[in-house]
């Protein structure tokens, strides 16, 4: 009999993706189906019924060539929640991760649980799930026959055939106490939220049940296949990057820049820029943060440019101006400053003059911000001594990868397939074998390793210090 395949499901904003890989990380089959939503002002909703129907369609489209399925796990967007009946039937739309209709309740939630949130190292944010629960309470929707569910719970319940426990990763933004591993009853009482509304929570990697006959008929996944509790999409990407040993980090450069790593202790950042998930293995933490800056500045400033040609021209620029590449208003990591604005060479961030010079400045500014992020994480108590893995759309630019590597001064790994669905396949395989890091070493393949140019690192450091000084002069960062 051939070795089993492991299936990861990624419930994103625009699509659901299913990926089956073998025990060496080779893709056996993949499929995706679109997801649609409704946006209006500060509201962003999706129909929870489509999460399962589209997932079932994607799974049914996988050509597994008769292979056994070892297990399946699901990741989804962090902070996306809905209300269901006790039988799991949706009662409300899914309020998405960036829906801020409940923003006025963030301060209420923060005040009620400030001591715990401080111990956990974060502040309640307007788009987080706990404020949404308070908004539902105000709307009169919290009753004895109502239950809160996180986005992946809809799919795992459909796979198993009945409501199942949620995972601690998705429950973080609903106020779950990751230190004591329980819902904080005193805080819930102060907020007039019945604990009966909230789901049972288990650690990521826990087997929730088995694929039922109805789900097997809809998906083609054999009945009896274990269904494993997943993690948020950000944590899933970290697993897909193979960054699971202490001191290892995954830096995701997409529209924005996000970092996640592994630490033996819970880092503490009084500004709230850093928050931590529990690792699915060992007594470890996964600290990190997400910036408001990143490769989105490239898209905004150079919407129609030939980026290959622009990169080649930028590589020849010697006098790179100082740049903080923020598009829009406000920063959340590595510093929290609602008044933050992007700047270029002392003025506003725009693309006049020499495009190559501006492009080089933006890329260097992102690299500076990345280095500053690691300094913040280190000061908060996180171990940042291990290698860094680059993923995200920005990691397709090899010149930018080497620039970032040189600015950081540490080795950098570039994985073959860093998508969150692979991270869930890793979690599924590791949960069944009892060794998640070992599963990551088998399934995650590295296509290339970069070494920093030490001389270049030293040459780039004065510009980095000028960058941090410019942030400090504006009152956004304390040196």
- pLDDT for the residue 194: 94
- pLDDT for the residue 64: 94
Give, for all 479 residues of the chain, the pLDDT tens digit.
578 999 999 998 899 999 999 999 999 999 999 999 999 999 999 999 999 999 999 999 999 988 999 999 999 999 999 999 999 999 999 999 989 999 999 999 999 999 999 999 888 988 999 999 999 999 999 999 999 999 999 999 999 999 999 999 999 999 999 999 999 999 999 999 999 999 999 999 999 999 999 999 999 999 999 999 999 998 999 999 999 999 999 999 988 899 999 999 999 888 878 889 999 999 999 999 889 899 989 999 999 899 999 999 999 999 999 999 999 888 989 998 889 999 999 888 876 679 999 999 999 999 999 999 999 999 999 989 888 999 988 999 999 999 999 999 999 999 999 889 999 999 999 999 999 999 999 999 999 999 999 999 999 999 999 999 999 999 999 87
Residue 252 has a CB neighbour count (10 Å cut-off) of 24
CA-closest candidate to residue 175, choices 220, 120, 241: 120
Q: Output the CA–CA distances (angstroms, integers) from residue 448 to 22, 54, 380, 437, in the order listed.
A: 21, 34, 30, 20
- pLDDT for the residue 360: 97
- pLDDT for the residue 282: 92
Q: 399: which 2 tokens?
A: 């010149």
- pLDDT for the residue 125: 87
Structural domains in the chain plus CATH codes: 5-233 (3.30.420.40), 244-417+445-473 (3.30.420.40)
- pLDDT for the residue 351: 67
- pLDDT for the residue 47: 97
Q: Output the CA–CA distances (angstroms, integers) from residue 391 to 9, 121, 127, in the order listed.
A: 19, 25, 25
* Residue 17 near residue 58 (C-beta atoms within 8 A): yes
Output helix, strand, coil percentages for the chain, rounded to the nearest 5: 35, 25, 40
- pLDDT for the residue 387: 87
Entry pTM: 0.88
């Amino acid at each position: 009999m051939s070795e089993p395949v492991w299936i990861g499901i990624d419930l994103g904003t625009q699509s659901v993706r299913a990926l089956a890989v073998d025990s060496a990380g080779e893709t056996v089959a993949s499929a995706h189906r679109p997801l649609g939503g409704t946006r209006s002002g500060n509201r962003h909703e999706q129909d929870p019924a489509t999460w399962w129907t589209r997932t079932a369609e994607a799974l049914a489209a996988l050509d597994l060539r008769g292979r056994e399925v070892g297990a399946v796990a699901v990741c989804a967007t962090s902070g996306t929640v809905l209300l269901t009946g006790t039988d799991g039937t949706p009662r409300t739309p899914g309020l998405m991760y960036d829906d801020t209709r409940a923003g006025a309740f963030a301060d209420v939630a923060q005040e009620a649980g400030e001591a715990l949130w401080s111990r956990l190292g974060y502040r309640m944010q307007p788009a987080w799930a706990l404020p949404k629960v308070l908004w539902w309470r105000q709307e009169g929707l919290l009753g004895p026959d109502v239950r809160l569910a996180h986005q992946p719970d809809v799919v795992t319940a459909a796979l198993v055939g009945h409501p199942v426990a949620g995972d601690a990763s998705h429950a973080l933004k609903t106020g779950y106490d990751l230190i004591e591993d329980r819902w904080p009853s005193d805080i819930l009482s102060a907020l007039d939220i019945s604990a009966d509304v909230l789901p049972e929570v288990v650690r990521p990697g826990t087997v929730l049940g088995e694929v039922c006959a109805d789900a097997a008929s809809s998906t083609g996944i054999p009945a009896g296949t274990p269904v494993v509790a997943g993690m948020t999409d950000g944590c899933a990407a970290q697993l897909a990057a193979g960054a699971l040993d202490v001191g290892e980090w995954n830096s995701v450069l997409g529209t924005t820049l996000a970092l996640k790593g592994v630490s033996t202790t819970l880092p503490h950042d009084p500004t709230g820029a850093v928050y931590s998930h529990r690792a699915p293995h060992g007594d470890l933490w996964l600290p990190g943060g997400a910036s408001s800056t990143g490769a989105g500045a490239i898209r905004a400033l150079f919407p129609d440019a030939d980026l290959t040609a622009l990169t080649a021209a930028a590589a020849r620029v010697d006098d790179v101006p100082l740049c903080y590449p923020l598009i829009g208003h406000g920063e959340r990591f590595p510093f929290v400053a609602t008044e933050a604005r992007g700047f270029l060479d002392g003025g506003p961030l725009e693309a006049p003059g020499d495009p190559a010079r501006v492009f080089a400045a933006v890329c260097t500014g992102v690299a500076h911000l990345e280095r500053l992020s690691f300094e913040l994480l280190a000061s908060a108590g996180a171990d940042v001594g291990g290698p860094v893995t680059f993923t995200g759309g920005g990691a397709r630019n090899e010149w930018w990868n080497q620039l970032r590597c040189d600015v950081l001064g540490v080795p950098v790994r570039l994985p073959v397939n860093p998508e969150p669905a692979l991270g869930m396949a890793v979690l599924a395989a590791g949960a069944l074998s009892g060794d998640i890091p070992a599963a990551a070493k088998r399934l995650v393949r590295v296509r290339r390793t970069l070494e920093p140019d030490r001389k270049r690192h030293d040459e780039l450091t004065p510009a980095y210090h000028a960058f941090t000084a410019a942030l400090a002069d504006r009152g956004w960062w304390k040196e």
